[in-house]
Structure 1
Amino acid sequence: MSYSTPVPMTILLLEDDEVDVMNVKRAFKKNNISNPLIVASNGIEGLAILRSRTDLPKPRIVLLDLNMPKMGGIEFLKEIRQDPELSSLSVFVMTTSNEDSDKIEAFNLNVAGYILKPLSMDRFIAAVSTLNSYWTLCEFPE
């Protein structure tokens, strides 16, 4: 019997703030996370990436900021939850919004988690480490 090494899952980061994008990349590096990371700066770009028909592996996990230009995170969530090909994506909200209304709306749209962006880099690295443990443990269909 031969076992193939699982290919690391591609992750889509929807984030318009360059500093936050750099922080995510830094946290991935600090945690030795080798998953390919695709970055989009708003929901419209994110949908275009998810709906493009390429040979590249489709992202299975989305890290989503709520406050973005053109199409924000909640609108993006509504859009993918209505799309049969995208509705099963695991979405983790990573945002500065601590509004109950945003949390309720996000969970009503079936997010896997809602994470407030920590102010310190150490806490951010720890949060990304926890996320990595979660998606490494989870089994996803082929």
Structure 2
Amino acid sequence: MAQGADGFSTLVAAVQAAGLVETLNGAGPFTVFAPTDAAFGKVPAATREALLAPAGKADLTKILTYHVVAGRVDAATLTQQIQAGGGSAALTTVEGGTLTARVGADGSVTLTDENGGMARVVQADVAASNGVIHAIDTVVMPN
């Protein structure tokens, strides 16, 4: 999905380490909230290294699939869902958890994970052959 895209080399490496390349290259459609390299840079180095090691594969897979929503949810659709939801929209992830989307005061879309962590969409509607990618500035974490 995001292979070769600038600013996503850590995500691509993580997807490869988790064995999710075939899944994300599947028919879809998928919506991927893709952490940028800078977002992965906020994760402590020891945690990153542990996740990318073979022993961390299950945890890495859980985190990565928490960034994926089934179906194609572009920015306009997401904004409509937030408005229809009275200011927030609950997105069920492929991992099974929930991300809560809201529109911030500055008009940007934010995601809140199940632990209260927050990420901001920094680039929306990056076209992919089997869905859409929204770049986010923080890695969101499932429970």
**Same fold by TM (over 0.5)?**
no
TM-score range, shorter chain: under 0.3
Normalised by the size of structure 1, how large is the TM-score? Answer: 0.28
Q: TM-score w.r.t. structure 2 length?
A: 0.28
Greater percentage in strand: 2
Q: Which one has the largest radius of gyration?
A: 1
Greater helix percent: which structure?
1
